């Protein structure tokens, strides 16, 4: 069990423990000490999204890093995948992204990357927490780290992303609605697409520190869908607050699920001989409809726990180069070490151009099985109760032949997620309600 780290780094309310300046400074010291691995100047790259609290977290963490002798490079608001890329580009020892992703502006969080731009393993996170239990070891004044701000970070990432689109392709003639969620892609998202020739209709590109994810982005894609219909765009693209995931709308303004995008990429890459191992990696939440479609295309599906770092770990283990989740976290390891919404968008747009077909034809490759998901506000400790476990096993048996049930604590929010999938939505709804009520009753009794 880890005290601070969840599914995707550390997350919570800004200025509430553990995201307070004293704790963050101590955390910076502990992380820095875990990554000081040689007799040379160590460097950490720090980026953030557009939340007001980002300045506080950035300053506190940087103080901790500098106090143990680590140099800090500030790059400002950029997508999470940009920080992974820049960590490699600067040959830094560590990358830090300050973001709570799709959560409201009052939350914030910390995502960490190793020198290869990969998210940290559970074992490394446990080492950091162990280091927190020890006394800090500040260096002497002569060995303090330095801080500097890099001004060309946006340009570096923009050029990197543009290079993933084959040079013979142009986005000329495409009308694209781009919703940046008032988040970290507000500069780079429209800029990349415009430089590649698209006509861009931007949404959510005026952050004020408090409006990230508010009525926009992947959490509220209705604005994007409506705009696509209004301006008669060919496609709509929406990012979340840190732009590591993406949602789409077809030319009619219909929302496209992440599993459909995985199906599109997998079948296209197989057709072009680019799909490694004839397999992709999904998550426990990947739709059964996707699994059946991939079977029809003779493509295997490996499932990993929820979270894009578990997806990438499974991809490395199986030798796959496509992985992703229904939420729109898509990992294309030929180009990046984790989910990158803008990179995924360019790959989808390249297929749209090459096939010369409407998005509605390309992005609806299978009929999803109904899924019913409910977030129940109870402690994960409820799941250890023998009564609750027995009820869950009974419910699972009801779905054995034509469906499945997954119950798991959220790694980013204070919920237990109850999901049932199968052919009969009414039956699924009844099962989910039954388990949710049992969880709530047990929570009150405890």
Query: pTM of this prediction?
Result: 0.90
Which are the contacts of 153, defined by CB distance < 8 A and separation ≥ 6?
A: 47, 75, 76, 78, 82, 86
Give me the catalytic one of 101, 184, 247, 333: 101
Q: What is the mean pLDDT of residues 59-83?
A: 98
Architecture of the domain made up of 10-151: 3-Layer(aba) Sandwich (3.40)
Section 361-387 average pLDDT: 91
Place of tokens 């929570």: 443
Say if CB 69 and CB 138 are below 8 A apart. no
CATH 3.40.120.10 correct for 157-255: yes
In which band, very low, low, confident or very high, does the pLDDT at 412 lie, cut at 50, 70 and 90?
low
Decide: helix, strand or coil at residue 27.
helix
Query: Residue 286 catalytic?
Result: no
Q: Fold match between 157-255 and 371-445?
A: no
**CATH number for the segment(s) 371-445:** 3.30.310.50
Write the secondary structure of 192-227 as one string of H (helix), E (strand) and C (coil). Answer: HHHHCCCEEEEECCCCCCCCCCCCCHHHCCHHHHHH
58 or 399: whose pLDDT is higher? Answer: 58
Q: Of all residues in the chain, what percent carry a pLDDT higher than 70?
A: 99
What residue spans define the domains of the chain?
10-151, 157-255, 256-362, 371-445
pLDDT above 90: residue 163: yes
Over residues 339-350, mean pLDDT: 97
Q: Specify the CATH architecture of the domain 256-362.
A: 3-Layer(aba) Sandwich (3.40)
pLDDT, tens digit (0-9, with 9 covering 90-100), for 383-394: 888 889 998 999
Report the interhelical angle of 153-162 vs 341-355 (nearest 10°).
30
């Amino acid at each position: 069990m880890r005290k601070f780290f969840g599914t995707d780094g550390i997350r919570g309310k800004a200025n509430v423990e553990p995201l307070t300046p004293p704790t963050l400074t101590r955390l910076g010291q502990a992380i820095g000490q875990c990554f000081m691995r040689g007799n040379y100047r160590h460097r950490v790259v720090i980026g953030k999204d557009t939340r007001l609290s980002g300045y506080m977290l950035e300053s506190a963490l940087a103080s901790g890093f500098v106090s143990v002798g680590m140099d800090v490079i500030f790059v400002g608001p950029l997508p999470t995948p940009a920080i992974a890329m820049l960590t490699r580009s600067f040959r830094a020892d560590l990358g830090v992204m300050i973001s709570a992703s799709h959560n409201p502006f009052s939350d914030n969080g910390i995502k960490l990357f190793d020198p290869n731009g990969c998210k940290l393993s559970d074992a490394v996170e446990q080492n950091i927490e162990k280091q927190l239990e020890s006394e800090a070891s500040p260096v002497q004044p002569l060995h303090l780290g330095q801080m500097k701000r890099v001004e060309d970070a946006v340009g570096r990432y923009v050029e990197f992303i543009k290079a993933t689109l084959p040079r013979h392709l142009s986005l000329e003639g495409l009308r694209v609605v781009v919703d940046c969620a008032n988040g970290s892609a507000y500069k780079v998202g429209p800029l990349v697409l415009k430089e590649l020739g698209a006509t861009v209709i931007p949404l959510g590109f005026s952050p004020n520190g408090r409006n990230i994810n508010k009525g926009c982005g992947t959490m509220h894609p209705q604005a994007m869908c409506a705009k696509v219909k209004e301006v008669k765009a060919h496609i709509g693209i929406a990012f979340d607050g840190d732009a590591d995931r993406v949602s789409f709308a077809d030319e009619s303004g219909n929302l496209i699920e992440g599993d459909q995008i995985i199906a599109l990429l997998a079948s296209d890459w197989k057709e072009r001989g680019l799909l490694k191992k004839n397999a992709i990696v999904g998550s426990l939440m990947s739709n059964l409809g996707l699994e059946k479609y991939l079977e029809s295309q003779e493509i295997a599906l490996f499932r990993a726990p929820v979270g894009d770092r578990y997806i990438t770990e499974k991809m490395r283990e199986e030798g796959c180069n496509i992985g992703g989740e229904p939420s729109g976290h898509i990992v294309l390891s030929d180009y990046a070490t984790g989910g990158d919404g803008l990179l995924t968008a360019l790959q989808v747009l390249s297929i749209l151009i090459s096939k010369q077909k409407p998005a509605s034809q390309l992005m609806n490759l299978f009929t999803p099985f109904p899924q019913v998901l409910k977030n129940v506000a109870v402690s994960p400790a409820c799941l250890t109760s023998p009564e609750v476990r027995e009820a869950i096993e009974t419910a699972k048996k009801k779905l054995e032949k034509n469906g499945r049930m997954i119950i798991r604590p959220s790694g980013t929010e204070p919920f237990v997620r109850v999901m049932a999938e199968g052919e009969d939505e009414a039956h699924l709804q009844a099962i989910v309600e039954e388990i949710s009520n049992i969880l709530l009753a047990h929570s009150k009794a405890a």
